[in-house]
Amino acid sequence: MLEKLTSSASAAVESPGPDPKIDLRVASGAAEIEAHFKIRRQVFVEEHGLFEGTDRDTHDDEGIHIVACLSGKIVGAVRCYPEGEGVWYGGRLAVHPDFRKYDLGARLVRKAVETMEGTAGVTRFLANIQIQNVRFFKRLGWIRIGELFLYRGVRHQVMEKVLGRCAE
């Protein structure tokens, strides 16, 4: 997988080097959080047209913002936010189009789960998943909850990742 990533990414990343460093982390500082929002805007506003102008909302005020970093360049994002007693949601999973199908999306989802498992008081982790991505999440161990619903003209499915342990 890394070999595939190295050969494909080298043209698009300024200086990835022969062995690109991949880092998944909670964004820290204004610049990383801005980079997180930039990826989301590129994908959900410009590419998908799901939102006009910005996809930011009030969940970002209390959310945890995670980034995928490839040789120093942030190319992926996902956020987690609280939605009631002990219940958190993951959302806005996005990988820059030039860097898809290289495992970064799966790594972002795993990092979000790991972050929730390490966050005090989190008992459930859910997500509203676009229908075309349900199979992707099932492969990562997520299960369907309830029926499909329509959001912004796109069919979505609530899915849950049962947490390995609940942080105290």
Ligand X SMILES: CC(C)(COP(=O)(O)OP(=O)(O)OC[C@H]1O[C@@H](n2cnc3c(N)ncnc32)[C@H](O)[C@@H]1OP(=O)(O)O)[C@@H](O)C(=O)NCCC(=O)NCCS
Distance CA 75, CA 73 (A): 6
Distance of CA 50 to the CA centre of its chain: 16
Spatial CB neighbours of 61, under 8 Å, sequence gap ≥ 6: none
Residue the block writes with tokens 């959302």: 91
Distance of CA 28 to the CA centre of its chain: 16
Interface with ligand X by CB under 6 A: which range of 11-19, 56-64, 92-100, 113-121? 92-100
Distance CA 51, CA 46 (A): 8
161 with 125: CB under 8 angstroms?
yes
Interface with ligand X by CB under 6 A: which range of 10-18, 30-38, 94-102, 116-124? 94-102
Give the one residue of 5, 9, 104, 159 binding ligand X; rule: CB under 6 A: 104
Number of chain positions touching ligand X (CB under 6 A): 17
Give the one residue of 93, 113, 116, 159 binding ligand X; rule: CB under 6 A: 93
132 lines the binding site for ligand X (CB under 6 A): yes
135 lines the binding site for ligand X (CB under 6 A): yes
User: How many residues would you count in the chain?
Assistant: 168
102 lines the binding site for ligand X (CB under 6 A): yes
The contact pattern for ligand X, residues 4-43, with x = CB under 6 A and - = no contact, is: ---------------------------------------x
